[in-house]
Each structure stands twice: as structure tokens, then as C-alpha cells.
Structure 1
Amino acid sequence: MDIRIGITNSPREISLESSQSAADVEGVVTSALTSEAKFFKLVDQKGNVYVVPLATFGYLEIGSEESRRVGFVS
């Protein structure tokens, strides 16, 4: 699934593909926002860890869990 994270005062966004479900990703971010946490962590399909500080967190966009088709569709 495609995930995009917007950072305040930055024209670029963090983009990653994760094997976690949409509910898992949403749960991680929601629990971090409602607690006293300073950051949240997400892991992509390759095992890279992304640590996002909540002080600069702008938005979270969770794409569909459906894989993209490549090539021509008839």
C-alpha cells in the first residue's frame, strides 16, 4: 500500500510502500497523536524504518491496498 506523509514547512513529502494494512498504519498514527509521543515509526516493504516527529507532521495519505496494474488492459 502506498503511504504519503506531509511535513510542515517542507515542499517534499515522505513516500513509502508498506505491507501493513491501512488500519494498522492509521492506528499507529492515531495512538501517537492522542498520547504524549514525540514521534511515530513506520516500516516499508524493504525493512526501512521511518521516524516522523509529530512536531512537524502535516498529514497522512493512505493509498488503496490494491496493487497497480502494469501494461495494457483490454
Structure 2
Amino acid sequence: MDIKFGFADTARELVIRVAGEQDGYLQQINEALANNSNVEIEDEKGKKFIVRTDRVVYVEVGSTSQRQVGFAGV
């Protein structure tokens, strides 16, 4: 699942690929945004990211469902 952060005054986004449940990340990010504090996220490879939420404009949290590949899902 990908978590995408958009920041004010820049066209670049921060995309972090994580393993785990969407609800846990949503709760963690919502709390950090509400308190204007930092959010710490660890990606699938073990890298840790600390994101300051004072400049965050939007957050997109990907779906935890598996995508269909090929024509089987049509």
C-alpha cells in the first residue's frame, strides 16, 4: 500500500510504500494532523520517515486490497 503526502509550495510528493493495515495508518496520520505534530512511518524495507505535518496539504492512503492482473477480473 502506498501513502502519498502532498506539501504546500512544492509540486513534489512523498510516496512511502508500507505494509500493514490502512486503518492503523489513517488513525496515526489523523492524530498527527490534528495535533500539528510529526508522524513517523516505516516503509517495507525498514527505512523510517519522519514527516512534519505543518506543511502537509493532502494525504492519500492507498487501498489494502489486491489489484487484479490481466483479464480475469473483468
Range of TM-score over shorter length: 0.7 to 0.9
TM norm structure 1? 0.80
> Is 2:36 aligned against 1:12?
no
> Is 2:52 aligned against 1:53?
yes
What is the aligned residue count? 72
**Percent of aligned pairs with the same residue?**
25
CA deviations on 1:36-74 (whole Å, 9 max, x unpaired) are: 62x11111101111111011111110111123455x335
Moved runs in structure 1, 4+ residues, more than 2 A?
33-37, 66-70
Gaps of 5+ in 1: none
- Given residue 43 of structure 1, which amino acid in structure 2 is its aligned partner? E
TM norm structure 2? 0.80
Question: Against the structure 1 CA distance between its residues 67 and 16, is the aligned structure 2 distance closer, same or farther, given a 3 Å change threshold?
Answer: farther
- Across the aligned residues of Structure 1 and Structure 2, the Cα RMSD in angstroms comes to 1.6
In structure 2, the residue matched to 1:43 is 42
Measure, in 2, the Cα distance between the counterparts of 1:50 and 1:68.
Answer: 26
Gaps of 5+ in 2: none
SS at match of 1:45: coil
Measure, in 1, the Cα distance between the counterparts of 2:54 and 2:36.
Answer: 12
